[in-house]
Amino acid sequence: MGRQVHITEVVLRDANQSQIATRMPRSDFEDILETMDQAGYYSMEVWGGATFDSCLRYLDEDPWDRLRFIRSKVKNTKLQMLLRGQNILGYKHYSDDTVRAFVRKSVENGIDIIRIFDALNDPQNMATAIDECLKAGGHAQGSICYTVSPIHTFESYVELGKKLEKMGCNSICIKDMAGIMSPQVCYDLVSALKKEVNLPVYVHSHSTTGLGPMTLVKAVEAGADGIDTAISIFSGGTSHPATESLVYTLNEMGFDTGVNLKVCQKINDHFKPVQERFLKEGGLNPSVLTTKIDALNYQIPGGMLSNLISQLTSVNQLDKLDEVLLETPKVRKDMGYPPLVTPMSQMVGAQAVTNVLLGERYKSVSKEVKAYLLGEYGKAPGEVSEELMKIALGDQKPYEGRYDDLIEPEIPGAKAYLGDLAESEEDVLSYVAFPQQAEAFLKKRREKKALKVSYTIQEVE
């Protein structure tokens, strides 16, 4: 066999985030983990992104427990997570002490590779997480969020790649969250990075526009060291190219993926009834399974599209979807062309929905957009509309310098507030990241334990 190409399986994180809004409980995959460990994947993306929030908010699961359980079953395959730099897994910037503790605990609880990105491609927002990942003995994978705009050029991406290398990253990922990177552009960008940066390059794309599979093949031809794929039943549409199809294709082309297709068949068979249940119960909207070539214009990533659909459905306004899709790139331009990835995708999307539903642009501006305009998320990639600045901020002036330096340490206060409700440092971190959801979860957990104790006492009596 020829050159080795690493395959990262994403069904437990991004594939289910993109298709079923990260609603897959542990019970849906716990019996297949040991089989997945035998497939020959380089890594499995199992944590981070929206999984943390979803576990606490919807699944009544402790995200740390989930990670430890996966680690106990997966012995041979690297476990990978997605981290939003200074946003960690939330939707705002956290203090440096929080970022460091979170990264350290992620590695301690079983994560091998942390893919670190920033929604604005601002390396300053990734620096603390990268530094702590390396200190904790993890593999720091720095990310370049791919987007198309007048200010995002090949040169700017290669420059970012060089900065990530200088910061000590072990590898680089080109993160094409909307599936809009064409095969040729991908070939040229991977080639340029391989030439200028002395690090392994990984490529992450989606099937939203139908380009994904071709883009990943061209990535490998250009010298990419690895690609992300999803087991076929959870592939396609807003998710990712299918693992089996890519492995089959690359094997035929003479590359060595190391993945066993017979094991993939077992994994796929396991997830078929899971997908059927979500379809039947309405957790999987069939519209996310189709190819959306329009995304080449409005550049909306998979998770964002399913969010927009659910936001509009909840207020019985799904007929306004086309208007929202037209409004989204306009809002993005006004905000200085941020890449549409969490939390920017939610911010831009929610503002576009508000603009359309209220029938007037920026009649109401969200507090998140105001925080972004003030500089709380880092530096806007391009020029922000003066009109929007005026409407949103009035006479308030944006911050100069690094906003994160102004954030007080968050862990001491959280510890004091939670008291004995927190049984570990992980509980405290859950609370810092998602105060309401974590507090409700921790209280519920204590009640369950108290009930269990009282039942045990009754049985003994």
Residues 103-153 have pLDDT tens digits of 999 999 999 999 999 999 999 999 999 999 999 999 999 999 999 999 999
Q: Output the pLDDT for position 107.
A: 98
Q: What is the CATH number of domain 286-404?
A: 1.10.472.90
Closest CA to 274 of 264, 285, 283: 283
Tell me the pLDDT band of 453, cut-offs 50, 70 and 90: confident
Which tokens go with 60?
Answer: 């009544």
In the numeric block, the tokens 């040169």 are attached to 155
What are residue 92's phi and psi, to 5 degrees? -145, 175
| Predicted confidence (pLDDT) at residue 455 exceeds the cutoff of 70 | no
pLDDT of residue 59: 97
DSSP letters along 28-59, please? GTTTTHHHHTTS--SEEEEEETTHHHHIIIII
How high is the mean pLDDT of the chain? 94
Task: Give yes or no for residue 157 having a pLDDT over 60.
Answer: yes
- Separation between Cα atoms, residue 364 and residue 329, nearest integer Å: 18
Contact 113, 106 (CB under 8 A): no
Could you tell me which residue, 192 or 402, shows the higher pLDDT? 192
pLDDT for position 369: 95
pLDDT cut 70: percent of the chain above it: 97
Distance CA 71, CA 419 (A): 29
Residue 44 phi, psi (nearest 5): -125, 125
**Residue 422 three-state SS:** coil
Residues carrying CATH 1.10.472.90, the chain: 286-404
CA 257, 258, 263: angle at the middle one, nearest 5? Answer: 115
Beta bridge partners of 229: 9
pLDDT (mean) for 280-300: 85
CA distance 368 to 384: 15
Residue pair 317/64 in contact (Cβ under 8 Å)? The answer is no
Fill in the DSSP letter of residue 381: S
Taken in order 45, 208, 23, 147, the sign of the CA dihedral is positive
Cis, peptide link before residue 343, omega less than 30° from 0: yes
pLDDT at 303: 65
Q: State residue 188's pLDDT score.
A: 97
Instruction: Output the CA–CA distances (angstroms, integers) from residue 18 to 83, 133, 164, 176, 434, in the order listed.
Output: 16, 26, 27, 13, 21
The residue-averaged pLDDT of 401-429 equals 95
Question: 40, 8 in Cβ contact below 8 A?
Answer: no
pLDDT of 460 higher than 80:
no
Examine the pLDDT at 334 and tell me if it is beyond 70.
yes
CATH architecture of 6-281: Alpha-Beta Barrel (3.20)
In the predicted structure, residue 345 carries a pLDDT above the cut 70: yes
Q: What is the dihedral sign for C-alpha 150, 155, 157, 159? A: negative
* pLDDT for the residue 297: 75
Q: How many Å is the Cα radius of gyration of the chain?
A: 22
Does 300 score more than 80 pLDDT?
Answer: no
Residue 401's pLDDT is: 84
Average pLDDT over residues 378-386: 92
pLDDT for 302 equals 62
CA distances from 397 to 10, 370, 390 (A): 42, 11, 10
Burial of 238 (0-12, 13-18, 19+ CB in 10 A): buried
Q: Kindly report the number of other CB atoms within 10 A of residue 279's CB atom.
A: 15
pTM: 0.92
Residue 83: φ, ψ to 5°: -125, 135
Query: Mutual orientation of helices 344-358 and 302-314 as an angle, nearest 10°?
Result: 30
pLDDT band at 48 (very low <50, low <70, confident <90, very high): very high
294 versus 243: the higher-pLDDT residue is 243
pLDDT value for 288: 86
Phi, psi of 126 (to 5 degrees): -105, -15
Is residue 267's pLDDT more than 90?
A: yes
18-27, 360-369, 397-406: least confident range: 397-406
Residues of the chain with CATH 3.20.20.70: 6-281
pLDDT bracket for residue 294 (50, 70, 90): confident
